[in-house]
Structure 1
Amino acid sequence: MQKIVVKSPTRVDLAGGTLDLWPLYLFINGASTVNVAIDIYTVAELTPHDDSTIVLESADLKLRKAYSNLQEALADTDPQMILLQTQLRYWMPKQGFTLKTSSQSPVGGGLGGSSSLTISLMKAFAQFCGKPFKDVHNMVHVAHNIEAEILNTPTGTQDYYPAASGGINVLHYSYDGIEQKVLPVSHTPLAEKFMLVYTGKAHHSGLNNFEVMKDSVVKDPRTLQALRDLKGIAIETEHAIRAGNWKDLGGLFKREFEARVRLAPEFSSPEIYKLAEVSLQNGAEAVKICGAGGGGCVLVWCPPDKREGVANACQKSRLPGDGRKTRRSPVKKKTTKKTAVKKTAASATHAGDVHRFIGLSLGGGKTDKACLAVLEYYPKHKKIFLSRLVEKIKSDEVHSADFKIQEVIRQYHNEIDLIAFDVPFNLPVCLQSDDCCTSIEDCKKPHVKWMWDYTRKLHKKKKPRKLFTPYTQRCVEMYVSSELEEPFILQHAMGANTAPLLARAMYLKRSMKAKCIEVFPKLSVWRLGRSLNVMKSHLRFHKHAIGGDESRREILHALSTHNVAFVYDQDVKLMIENNHAFEAFICALTAFLSFKGGTEPRPDGFPSNEDWIEFPRVNVRWEGF
C-alpha cells in the first residue's frame, strides 16, 4: 500500500456558532449554522509498515514516538498522545505504520483546527484499515464522539463538515438530526472582502461553551434569548448567501457580534474590542468573532480598497503582549501574505479580563516527575478554571525538560500574574553575600539573630537536638515547624533532597518575567482542606504511595462541591493518579489566593531579607472571590 496523505481545511463560522452544541438547539426549536472552509489546513500522512511497529510524529507538538506494537502505543501515559491514542483505540489497526500530523492553524485559533485534524486522521485510517464511512454524517458522528471523549466536555458538530466537504456549509439541526447543504465558494465576494486576523491570544472554547450550556440548562432567560437571536441571524445569513445579497453580511456580522457577547461576555476580550474599534475606524464594515471567541482569530469584513489600510492599522494598534497576525483572502486557494508582529511586554493587567497563575511541581531534571498547571481567573464572573495541566515533563533526545517547561510558559507571552514553585528558588541568605561572618555565634545579621532568638525560645520548651545552620536552612523552615496549628516539616533549602531542586528552580526562574513565589504544597493542602471540612487523615496523607490517591480524590471532590474551580474530569483523574500533577494545581491555586490577599502575611519581626512561603490563611472564604 502506498503512503496515504489527507489534507483537510479548517473553517470560519459565519453564523450560528454554539447552536450546534447538543442539546442547545433543541432548547430553541432547532437551529442553523453557516460556515465556510478556508485554506488553512491540517495534514495527516500515513505510511504503512511491513511489521507491527508504529511511529507517531506531530510537527506542532515537536513530538516523535516509536513503539514496537499497538499495545505499547496504547499504554503510553504521555498526555500529549491522547488524540492519537483515542483514534488508535477506535480503529485498532492490524498493521504497523508511520503517522505524521501537522496543522497550519494556531493553537486556540477558533478555526476548528482540532476538528479538522480529527477528520484528516479519520479519512487516513478509514483508507488504511479498509473501513470506509457510509456518508459524511456517519464520519462526523464518530469524530464528534471521539473528540468529546478526549476533551471530556460537550462538543458541537459544525466544525467537522467543512473539513470533510469543503465549500460553504449550511447545516440544519432538528429532531431528525443534521441536514447538510454545500454551496460553492467560487463566484462569491468572500475572497475579496474576507480578512482573517489572529489576536495573539488563544481562546478557551471549553470554558465559554460550558458557561452557555450551564445557563441554558437552568433556563436563564437572557441566555435563551441570545440563543434565539443567534438562530434568527443564522437563518438570515443563509438566505442572504443563497440570494447573493452579500452586501447584507456586514450588518448581520455586527448583529451576530452583539448577540454573542450578550450570550456570554467571555466570547469577547479587550483584544477583540480593540481590533473591532480600529478596523471599523479604518473602513472595515464589520468584525466577526471566530469559534468560541475570547481570543483566537477574528474575521474582518472589509471592502477590497480598504483592506491594506485596515491590515496596517491592526498591526500598529496591537495590545501589549499581542502577537497579531493578519491573513488575507483565506477562502480562496492562492498565495497569501502573512505578517508577524514582534511581541512586547504585557501590562500589569494584561487585558484585565483574565488573570493567569502557573503552578510548577519540580522533580529532578533527569526524571519525568515535573508537572505544570495553568489556572485562570475571570473576575467579572468570579470563575476559576484549570485551563491546562501538563504532567511528566521529561527530556528527550532533542529537548530538555527545562526547555519544554519554558516553552509552555512562553506560549502565554507575558500574560501571567504569578508563577508558584513547590521548591525554593533562592539560596539561603548566608550564601548570597560575600560579607560572611566567621561564625554564627558572632553574626549580627537580622536573619541569624532571628534564628538565635527562635532557638532560645525553643530551649525553654524542649532543647533542640541540633543547632541551626544558616547556610543550609532558612528562617521560614524553622517557623512552620512549630508556630502553626500543627508542625510542618519543610526540608532545608540546601538539604540533600532539596538542593538539586533549588538549583533547577534558580535556572528556570532566570528566564521568567512574571513574579515568582514559593509554595509548600503540604501546608497549602492542609489549610485548603480544613476550610472545606476535609478529614484530617486525607490532608496528612495525600502524598502517600498507599492511600494517597483516595486522599487526593476526596480533596478534589471537596473543591468541586464548593465550586472552588472548574476542572475537567480528565484532569481530575490525572491528579488522582499523579501527586506531582495535583501539587502543581495546588501551587497555582495558592498563587491565586496570594493574588487575592488570601495567604498568610509575614509574622511580625520576621527578617525582611529572608524568603517567605505563601500558604492560605486559616478558614479561607471562597465566596468572596
Structure 2
Amino acid sequence: MIISQTPIRISFVGGGTDIANFYRQYGGEVISTAIDKYISVCITREQNSQIAINTPDHHETVSNPNHIQHSLIRESVRKTDIAGGVSITVTSDIPSRGCGLGSSSALTVGLLNAVYAYQGIEMPVEILAHQACEIEIERLNQPIGKQDQYIAAYGGLQRIQFNRDESVHTQDIPVTLEAVAHLQQNFILFYTGIQRRAETILHEQKRSASPQTLLQMRKLVSVFYDALVKGNHDGCSYDEIGHLLDHAWQLKRSLCDSISNPMLDTIYESAIAAGALGGKILGAGGGGYFLFYVPTKKQKTVTAALSDLGLSQLEFHFESKGSQVIEGKNLNESHYPYRWQRHTTQTPYLRFS
C-alpha cells in the first residue's frame, strides 16, 4: 500500500497573476501557504489487470487507462504509464471541489507522488509541480494558474514567482514561530456553502480582467511580504495584513462580475462590521471559502455574525511540508527494478526559526 498526503492551500495575494496570459507578458507573483487539510491518495496492487477508481463522488473500474472518466486521474495515470492492476482511492478533508482551496491541484500532485512511489521513484517536488501544471493546464486545457500545484508540492509559507520564460522561483518566507502563532490566531476561515465552477469564472476573468488591475495585485505581494516579515517590529503591525487583504479583495472583485455576488457582499460587509480588518474569497471566487483577518478580541463577534448567516468555520494551522508519501514504498519491484531512485533534489520545506 502506498499513501500520499498532500496539503491544500490558502492564497493571500497575487492570485490571477499566475495565469499564463499575464505572467508571460509581465511576470507573476503570489504569496500562499499550505494548511493542515489534505487530499490523500491510496494505491494498492490488485490481482487483475483493471484500474479501480474510488473518490468521494466518483467510482469506476476500467481495463484501459484511456477510458478513465475522471479527467485528472486519467491524465495522471497516462503520464506515469500505469497500465493496470491497481486500485486508486482518494479521500479529502474538505467538502468538495470548487471550494477555492486548490484541492484539484493537490489531488494531481498527490496522485503523481503516489504513483511514482508505487513505481519506486522519489520524484523531486519541482517535477511534481511542473507535471501537475502540464496535466491541468496543457493536457486538460484548464484556464487556471500555477500557484496551486507549486504550493501543494512544496508546502510551507511561500512567495512564488512565475517568470516570463516559464521558470518558477519559490522562496520560503522567513517568519518566526511567534509570527506563525500570531497569524494562525488571527486568520479565520469560513465556508459559504456556495459551490461554483472555477472554470466559468476564470474564463470570464480572462476575457475582462484589466492588466492594470492585475499589476496592482502583483505589487501587493511585496508589501504583504514585508508585513509578514516585519510583524510588530520597526513601527509595523500585523494588523496591516488585514488591511492589505481588504485591498486585495477590492481589486480581485473588480476583475469580473462573477467573482462576487450580493450574498458574498453581505457576508463580507457583516464580517467587517463585526470587527474583521479584511478578507477575501479564496480561489476563483463566486463561492467556496472566505478568509478573514480578525484581531482575537473581535473573533467571537465575527464568528457569531457569520454563523448567523449560515456559514461554518474551518479551523486550520499552517503546514510546513508539501506532498509526502506517508506509508509504503515500492510495491511493484518486479515491474520497476530500479527501485527508490532519487532523481535530483531533496524536498524543501518551510523551517520556522
The answer, yes or no, to whether TM exceeds 0.5 is yes
1:65 matched to which residue of 2?
60
Secondary structure of the 1:39 match is strand
Quote how far apart the aligned CAs of 1:225 are: 1.5
Aligned to 2:332: none
The question of whether the paired residues in 2 share the 8 Å contact of 1:193 and 1:329 is answered with no
Structure number with greater CO (CA < 8 Å, separation at least 6) is: 2
CA distance in 2, matches of 1:273, 1:264: 14
1:299 aligns with 2:291: yes
Q: Alpha-carbon deviation of 1:331?
A: 3.1
Amino acid at match of 1:119: V
> 1:213 Cα shift?
2.0
1:45 aligns with 2:42: yes
Q: Distance in 2 between matches of 1:95 and 1:205?
A: 32
Which whole-Å CA distance do the structure 2 matches of 1:30 and 1:178 have between them?
10
Q: What amino acid is aligned across from residue 8 of structure 1 in structure 2? A: T
Find the counterpart in structure 2 of residue 170 from structure 1. Answer: 159
Structure 1 position 153, deviation (Å): 2.9
Residue 241 of structure 1, CA deviation:
1.5
CA shift for structure 1 position 271: 2.3
Secondary structure at the residue paired with 1:37?
A: strand
- 1:230 match: 217
Confirm or deny: 8 A CA contact 1:190 1:329 kept in the other structure: no
CA distance in 2 between counterparts of 1:299 and 1:141 reads 28
Of the three residues 10, 29, 44, the one matched with 1:32 is 29
Secondary structure at 2:59's aligned position in 1? Answer: strand
Give the whole-Å Cα distance in 1 for the aligned partners of 2:141 and 2:28: 24
Which residue of structure 1 aligns with residue 204 of structure 2?
211
Alpha-carbon deviation of 1:295?
Answer: 0.9
Over 3 Å counting, the alpha-carbon distance change for 1:64 and 1:205 in structure 2 is closer
How far residue 309 of structure 1 moved from its aligned partner, in angstroms, is 2.0
Match of 2:120 among 130, 154, 157: 130
Give the superposition deviation at 1:332: 6.6
Aligned partner of residue 108 in structure 1, secondary structure: coil
Contact persistence 1:279–1:310 (CA under 8 A): yes
Q: Give the CA deviation at 1:95.
A: 5.5
Deviations 1:491-545 (A, max 9, x none): xxxxxxxxxxxxxxxxxxxxxxxxxxxxxxxxxxxxxxxxxxxxxxxxxxxxxxx
Q: Which residue of 1 aligns with 2:347?
A: none
Q: How much does 1:317 deviate?
A: 2.7
Question: How many angstroms apart in 1 are the aligned matches of 2:67 and 2:198?
Answer: 29
Give the AA of the match of 2:16.
T
- 1:200 and 1:309 map into 2 onto residues whose CA distance is 20
Tell me the amino acid that sits aligned with residue 3 of structure 2.
V
1:193 equivalent in structure 2: 186
Displacement of 1:54 in angstroms is 2.5
**CA–CA distance in 2 between the matches of 1:180 and 1:41?**
21
1:121 partner SS: helix
Cα shift at 1:259: 0.9
Q: Deviation at 1:46? A: 0.8
Give the whole-Å Cα distance in 2 for the aligned partners of 1:92 and 1:18: 32
| Cα offsets for 1:305-359 (capped at 9, x unmatched) | 22122111111134xxxxx3212344379xxxxxxxxxxxxxxxxxxxxxxxxxx
Change (3 A) 1:284 1:170: same
Cα displacement string for residues 227-258 of structure 1 (whole angstroms, at most 9, x for unaligned residues): 11101112211222122352210111111011
User: Alpha-carbon deviations, 1:118-173, whole Å to 9, x = none?
Assistant: 1110100111123443x322221210121125653332110012211221011012
In structure 1, distance between residues paired with 2:317 and 2:79: 33
**C-alpha contact (below 8 Å) 1:111/1:297 kept by paired residues:** yes
1 CA distance for matches of 2:15 and 2:86? 37
Q: C-alpha separation between the residues in 1 aligned to 2:10 and 2:109?
A: 16
Deviation at 1:207, TM superposition (A): 2.1
For this pair of structures, how many residues does the alignment match? 310
Match of residue 101 from structure 2: 111
Instruction: Give the 3-state SS of the residue equivalent to 2:314 in structure 1.
Output: strand
Higher fraction of strand: 2
1:211, 1:53 → 2: CA distance?
40
- Partners of 1:55 and 1:98 within 8 A in 2: yes
Are 2:2 and 1:9 equivalent residues in the alignment? no
The 8 Å contact of residues 172 and 180 in structure 1, kept in 2 or not, is answered as yes
Q: Determine the C-alpha separation between the residues in 2 that align with 1:166 and 1:64.
A: 29
| C-alpha deviation, 1:110, in angstroms | 0.5
Instruction: Give the Cα separation in 1 of the matches to 2:81 and 2:319.
Output: 37
Measure the CA separation in 2 of the matches of 1:296 and 1:199: 6
TM-score where L is the length of structure 2: 0.81
Distance verdict in 2 for CA 1:234–1:224, change over 3 Å: same
Gaps of 5+ in 1: 217-222, 319-323, 334-625
Aligned counterparts, 1:348-387, within 5 A: none
Write the deviation string for residues 149-205 of structure 1: whole angstroms up to 9, x where unpaired. Answer: 565333211001221122101101223411001236843222101111111111332
- Residue 7 of structure 1 and its aligned partner are, at CA, apart by 0.9
Displacement of 1:20 in angstroms is: 0.4
Tell me if 1:288 matches 2:275.
no
In 2, are the aligned partners of 1:194 and 1:331 still within 8 Å (CA)?
no
User: Which structure: larger Rg?
Assistant: 1
What is the CA–CA distance in structure 2 between the aligned matches of 1:332 and 1:155, rounded to whole Å?
A: 23
Q: Tell me if structure 2 keeps the 8 A contact 1:119–1:160.
A: yes
Q: Counterparts in 2 of 1:243-282, with a 5 A limit?
A: 243-244=230-231, 245-282=237-274
Provide the identity percentage.
Answer: 26
Post-superposition Cα deviations, 1:281-306, rounded to whole Å, max 9, x if no partner, equal: 11111122211111111101111222
Distance verdict in 2 for CA 1:332–1:51, change over 3 Å:
closer
Per the alignment, in what secondary structure is the counterpart of residue 298 of structure 1? Answer: strand
CA distance in structure 2 between the aligned counterparts of 1:270 and 1:181, rounded to whole angstroms:
37
Residue of structure 2 in register with 1:54 after alignment: 51
Backbone CA RMSD of aligned residues: 2.1
Q: For residues 55 and 13 of structure 1, what CA distance do their matches in structure 2 show?
A: 33
- SS of the residue corresponding to residue 42 of structure 1 reads strand
In the other structure, the counterpart of 1:472 is none
Superimposed CA distance per residue, residues 23-77 of structure 1 (whole angstroms, 9 cap, x where no aligned partner):
21233x322100011122111011123553332211x21x43334x4x2x4335x
TM-score using structure 1 length = 0.47
